[in-house]
Amino acid sequence: MATAAQEKPGRATDRIFNFGAGPAVLPLPVLEEAQRDLVSLPGVGVSILEISHRSKTFEEILEAAIADIRRLASIPSQYRVLFLQGGASLQFSMVPMNLLPADRSADYVVTGAWSKKAVKEAQKVGMVSVAGSTETEGFTRIPDQSELRLDPEACYVHITTNNTIFGTEWHREPAVGRVPLVADASSDIFSRPIEVNRYALIYAGAQKNLGPAGVTLAILREDLLERSPKDLPTMLDYNTHAQNNSLYNTPPVFAIYLVRLVAKWMLAEGGLEAIGRRNEEKAKLLYDALDGSGGFYRPHAKPGSRSNMNVTFRLPSEELEKKFLSQAVQHGFSGLKGHRSVGGIRASIYNAFPVAGAEALVGFMSDFSARNG
Ligand SMILES: Cc1ncc(COP(=O)(O)O)c(C=O)c1O
């Protein structure tokens, strides 16, 4: 039976600072708009959860989502914007199935656990060359251009733009010449201005910077569509989704609706320049606190490779880390526990995470180190 507390509707003022790595914090105005429209979309009389994906209403939502995403990232006309399912994880398979013939090779730069998973799936399809890896250094950094062994004949080069678990991020795309660059941008998509034409394909699960779990955005240069083999399962062929404007089958209607609201919010916030500046500000607050702690807090990522989305660090002992996490919860911070492969703390500060939350964490960190240092 529900308790009285559970029966009370959640209020905006009840919200705490959510440092979770994903699914992650969403902009409050987006949640409020979705809440207002959940029972009945204005002028429609049914919920977004109840409408047909073939209805004019949904068609307009889908078109608005695509148009806003195009505007946000100044996506050139020769790129298609697709909404797919199966998460970023299915892209680990779809990318090679569509772009890597069995007798050819693709270059993968391995910068963390997600890159390794991408490699594993590609190896089932064709040949993979690891063009660079920082695994022996605990994935504490992104390799330099000079360390990459790129094959000019590769079908594509695959990178993970932000390594959610380790807290490292590419701050500049690698130079790949004429070879198509494919990016898993799940955890830093639209966190700063992006030059889409440097990439052939960008994909991202929505659940960090774009919306809820359940939809994957793909931005695909049209000429890649010619590469897909003709005998691919229909749902795994990019052509199916491109030819049917992401409506071949029932798409995740609610997730796309929320992505549309998030895209509108990002534009209203001033677009990617403004969002990028705010992300820099939040990350600087946290990294300055780590660097200025006299060694109490130990950042995992090397300077130059540090992520503006996931700030990872250790404390002098696991015992202190446990204490930090339990006191953090009491201060109204959630989701700070680091991934088990790195340990320690991970503060995820995606687009919708407020500067005030980063300031509050810095204040808590400074008190905690003073009391326990
Ligand atoms: C960089 C990166 N790639 C891929 C994934 C897997 O995404 P999904 O769960 O949508 O398959 C994640 C999930 O956290 C991620 O952070």
Res. 1: pLDDT tops 60: no
Q: Find the mean pLDDT for residues 125-141.
A: 98
Residues 232-277 have pLDDT tens digits of: 999 999 999 999 999 999 999 999 999 999 999 999 999 999 999 9
What integer pLDDT is reported at residue 3 of this predicted model? 55
**Which of 89, 91, 350 to mutate to test ligand 1, by most ligand atoms within 8 A of the CB atom?**
89
Residue 317 is encoded by which pair of tokens? 């002992």
92 lines ligand 1 (CB under 6 A): no
**Which of 95, 108, 164 to mutate to test ligand 1, by most ligand atoms within 8 A of the CB atom?**
164
> Which residue, among 56, 14, 68, has the nearest Cα to 261 in the 3D structure?
68
Angle at CA of residue 86, ends 62 and 222, nearest 5°: 55
160 lines ligand 1 (CB under 6 A): yes
Question: How distant is the alpha carbon of residue 261 from its chain centre?
Answer: 17
188 lines ligand 1 (CB under 6 A): no
Residues 183-202 have pLDDT tens digits of: 999 999 999 999 999 999 99
Of 11-15, 25-29, 83-87, 303-307, which gets the smallest average pLDDT?
Answer: 11-15
With cut-offs at 50, 70 and 90, classify the pLDDT of residue 9: confident
240 lines ligand 1 (CB under 6 A): no
Residues 217-234 have pLDDT tens digits of: 999 999 999 999 999 999
Query: What pTM, to 2 d.p., does this model score?
Result: 0.97
Res. 5: pLDDT tops 60: no
CA distances for 75 relative to 80, 98, 158, 218, 262, angstroms: 9, 22, 20, 12, 17
Query: Average per-residue pLDDT in the chain?
Result: 96
What integer pLDDT is reported at residue 7 of this predicted model? 67
